[in-house]
A and B are shown apart, each in its own frame.
Chain A
Amino acid sequence: MRPLLSLPSPPMSWFRRWRQFGLCGLFGLSSCLGLAAQAGELVVIVHPNSGVKQLSKAEVINIFMGRQRKLPSGATALTVDLNKPSAEKKNFYARLIGKELTEINSYWARLIFSGQGSPPRQAETAEEVLEIVENNKGAIGYLQRNQITPHVQIVYTLPE
């Protein structure tokens, strides 16, 4: 997790501030820090020749949650996730489906241990995500907008 103080403060309604304060008081500082951790604008990226220019939120959910194993172009999807529980990873799942990383682990535990599939490939760094997406036609990953290069195609921008 990134240091809290070095991150820009996001716009937040009084209700969200109140709710966050309430949760901090109830469930301790770790929840509070977790809720406050922010990543910049997150984008979902694919190979420029994947044949996909845009994805809907539902399509991104279906692919990253292992429910659909292909891109709309028909290519087998190679999903790439960040291995470490970083702010980007936490925010990606929070913004995409409102889930904590422990819930994502729990979700994949069900699929893995019932032979329904493997979780996304785990990349150690943003550079590794880029390398995989740049070199595989079916690859799909996510990063902060300021981390990507012109060699990948943005297909979805996560709402902040």
Chain B
Amino acid sequence: MKPRLFIIMGLGFWLSSPVALADSPLNSETFSLSGFGTLGGAYNLDGEANFIRDGIQPDGADGRGFTGSVDSRLGLQANWKPHEDFEGVIQLVSKYRYDGSYRPQVTWAFLKYAFTPDFQIRAGRLGYDIYPFAESRDVGYSYVWVRPPVDFFGYIYFSHLDGADLTLTHQLGNGLLKGKLFASQFNDAIPVVTTIPDVYTLKGDAWGGYLDYQTPNWLFRACLVIIKPETEQTAVAMLQNALRSTQVPQAVSLAGNMGFADKTFNFFTTGAVYDDGPFQGQLMLSRILTDTLSYPNNTAGYASLAYRIGEWTPYLVYSRIKSGRNDHVDTGLPDTPPFDVLNAQVGLALSNNQADQSTVSLGARYDFAPNAAFKLQVDRIHSRGYPTLLWGNTDPDWDGRATIFSATLDFVF
């Protein structure tokens, strides 16, 4: 479906249901249908790099007009709650995907059983709800920004996890201590726009958990997720074969260290959220440790401040990501024909998942209706080399600076 058609359909749907705007859309019947959506887009003032929201998008705002694909999306959800301690949820989301389509995807489909009000299990398809707010990053109406900070959320590729989780809540003082453990499999398609254009089927196992402490005003979270992909990117596999075929020990060893399959990715995240009346503040930090040269360790974080004044909520966000550098790894092969091309390709592949970028975002949310909000945001981005992790195609002459203007309409129904 073309983006324009998607937007017109969405607008028509929204405008044709004025009743939903008048009343709260949130109810708790045995069976309920609800939904959410975002219409809008981004304009990239500099046309030398394709601004994308996350690594699942093959193309983005490239300076040729307002790009609706970056932020527009539509979600539908059915809840079935035949009993207080048992619930089923299914959610479909249509958004711009790896293949350029808006084909809807099942993002949640699970059954939940509460053994006690404090102890519950969910099994089925679950959202990636380990990072705070990552689970609802498609629901624009639920946060103040136009989009979650790209430097922090832009490389979370998992649209869902298939598995089970256990949650235990315990009152501690004024607050609640909540722990979660999960085990699951992931399966997502990611566009590869550099090296050889391709679609990488990212499949494997993920497990981990988090610990929350929530008081009326504060939320603290610490989480650990361990991810083990079992699939390899085509371009990386080809380079591994080429390196192994040289039979040079250093090249063969490098081939083993540059894959994704059977490697381990450890995601550590910690953060705090402060929410007091009109004021909302967030500070999040993450550290990714890996044992593959194709995805160097990185550290990322963001700080966000928002203050509501009447129906307006202006906000300011600073986000940053910095990864290690693996692009000058020696293959052990001479830099002369026929090996110079292989050396260059290996260097390119190893720099693919690096980032050194900061963003300052300034914006405002305007709650003009009980279930719809309008947002405006301007981002000033500084990418200090290796822009491939967080951008679509980039011009080699790009100076790494970009200004993005965004406007969205977020709603729930």
Contact yes or no, B24 A122, CB < 8 A: yes
Binding site for B on A (CB under 8 A): 23, 26-28, 30-31, 56-58, 61-62, 67-70, 74, 76-78, 83-85, 97-103, 105-110, 112-116, 118-122
Q: Which residue of B lies closest to A58 (CB)?
A: B174
Residue from the set A57, A69, A108, A113 with the largest chain B CB neighbour count within 10 Å: A113
Q: Which residue of A lies closest to B313 (CB)?
A: A103
* Contacting residue for A118 out of B28, B85, B174, CB 8 A: B28
Contact yes or no, A58 B412, CB < 8 A: no
A101–B24 CA distance with the chains assembled, in angstroms: 9
Binds A, one of B106-114, B201-209, B336-344: B106-114
Tell me the minimal C-beta distance from A97 to chain B in angstroms. Answer: 7
Contact yes or no, A105 B371, CB < 8 A: yes
Tell me the minimal C-beta distance from A19 to chain B in angstroms. Answer: 10
B122 on the A face (CB < 8 A):
yes
Contact yes or no, A114 B127, CB < 8 A: yes
Residues of B within 8 A of A61 (CB): 216
- Can you list the 5 inter-chain pairs with the closest CB atoms, starting with the nearest? A98-B277, A27-B310, A70-B117, A110-B142, A69-B117
Contact yes or no, B174 A56, CB < 8 A: yes
A119–B28 CA distance with the chains assembled, in angstroms: 7
Contact yes or no, A118 B81, CB < 8 A: yes
Within 8 A of A (CB), among B95-140: 108, 110, 112, 114, 116-118, 122, 126-127, 129, 133, 135-136, 138-139
Tell me the minimal C-beta distance from B114 to chain A in angstroms. Answer: 7
A74–B112 CA distance with the chains assembled, in angstroms: 20
Tell me the minimal C-beta distance from A84 to chain B in angstroms. Answer: 7
Residues of A within 8 A of B373 (CB): 102, 106
Tell me the minimal C-beta distance from B161 to chain A in angstroms. Answer: 12
A116–B25 CA distance with the chains assembled, in angstroms: 17
Q: Which residue of B lies closest to A110 (CB)?
A: B142
Contact yes or no, B215 A26, CB < 8 A: no
Q: Which residue of B lies closest to A118 (CB)?
A: B28
Contact yes or no, B176 A62, CB < 8 A: yes
B171 on the A face (CB < 8 A):
yes
* Contacting residue for A83 out of B23, B138, B214, B278, CB 8 A: B23
* Contacting residue for B77 out of A23, A102, A113, CB 8 A: A113
* Contacting residue for A122 out of B26, B110, B136, B308, CB 8 A: B26
Q: Which residue of B lies closest to A79 (CB)?
A: B28
